[in-house]
Amino acid sequence: MYDLLPHNSLETVALVAGASGGLGGEIAKELSKVGFHVALHCQNNPAAAETLAGTIEHGRVFIADVSSAESVKRMIEGVEQWKGRLDLIVNSAGVTHEALIVKTTVADFDNVINTNLKGAFNLIKFGAALMKKGSGGQIINISSYTAFKGSSGLAAYAASKAALSGLSLSAARELAGDCIRVNVVLPGFMLTRMGLESSVQARKTAVSENLLCRYGNPHSVARFIAQLAENKDITGQVFNLDGRPL
């Protein structure tokens, strides 16, 4: 089987979940530059997504809570009504909660798992169903170094991202027959809203453990994702873009 549609066809459609965020916004801009029409997803920050939509050629804002299956289903239906197809999902929606396990409430734990893991499940479930109506596509989930190494004070986040790898690698196996690739990208520690809300200690540790002694760069992650989006031969892979070796 072969995907006959060129990646940069003007009709090629990407959904960036978390486009209102620091990393998602950069990814949306890069995908627009390489020719995708981009569905810009946000939750509580539609103003950021609307501003972004004003700067790219073919973009539309969609609002959804990724932790809600009903909300994600409605968003995917909205994308289908908008363009009739979906070729790429980049899932950059996520939350963290910095606290020791004994100080993490069950509600805090659930919120992180429901957003980072169940959210990814919802996007794969409803997004893949629309991709199957076309000629396949790709799903790229954003995970973290923490998923592989753990981190004191980030147990809920690390657990959600570790499970995201299992979900993504299983989805790669299930969906390959439908020409849907599923890959995982691990950015380094970035000074986005999430990074800036981290403790000073967490930031210092991230830089000191980085062999290049610096923060991750959302633009370089976005460039990598735009290149991965073009590649029809890669699936079931985890790409570490963090200067901290796994």
Ligand X SMILES: NC(=O)c1ccc[n+]([C@@H]2O[C@H](COP(=O)([O-])OP(=O)(O)OC[C@H]3O[C@@H](n4cnc5c(N)ncnc54)[C@H](OP(=O)(O)O)[C@@H]3O)[C@@H](O)[C@H]2O)c1
Active-site annotation, residues: 157
53 vs 179, which CB is nearer to ligand X?
A: 53
From 4, 44, 106, 208, residue interacting with ligand X (rule: CB under 6 A) = 44
From 22, 51, 78, 162, residue interacting with ligand X (rule: CB under 6 A) = 22
- The yes or no reply on residue 187 touching ligand X (CB under 6 A) is yes
- The yes or no reply on residue 155 touching ligand X (CB under 6 A) is no
Part in contact with ligand X (CB under 6 A); list of ranges 20-28, 166-174, 175-183, 222-230: 20-28
From 195, 226, 228, 243, residue interacting with ligand X (rule: CB under 6 A) = 195
Angstrom distances, CA of residue 226 to CA of 28, 90, 95, 115, 217 = 9, 10, 23, 24, 15
- The yes or no reply on residue 137 touching ligand X (CB under 6 A) is no
67 vs 134, which CB is nearer to ligand X?
A: 67
18 vs 134, which CB is nearer to ligand X?
A: 18
| 95-134 positions binding ligand X, by CB under 6 A | 95, 115
From 142, 154, 155, 182, residue interacting with ligand X (rule: CB under 6 A) = 142
Part in contact with ligand X (CB under 6 A); list of ranges 30-38, 62-70, 101-109, 168-176: 62-70
| CA 231/CA 203 separation, integer angstroms | 33
20 vs 32, which CB is nearer to ligand X?
A: 20
39 vs 179, which CB is nearer to ligand X?
A: 39
SS3 string, 12-69, reads: CEEEEECCCCHHHHHHHHHHHHCCCEEEEEECCCHHHHHHHHCCCCCEEEEECCCCCH
| CA 164/CA 179 separation, integer angstroms | 21
Which of 110-114's residues contact partners 24+ apart within 8 Å by CB, and which partners? 111/67, 112/156, 112/157, 112/159, 112/160, 113/156, 113/159, 113/160, 113/163, 114/67
CB-based burial, 38-54: b 16+ in 10 Å, e otherwise: bbbbbbeeeebbeebbe
Interface ranges with ligand X (CB under 6 A): 18, 20-24, 42-45, 65-67, 92-95, 115, 142, 144, 187, 189-190, 192-195
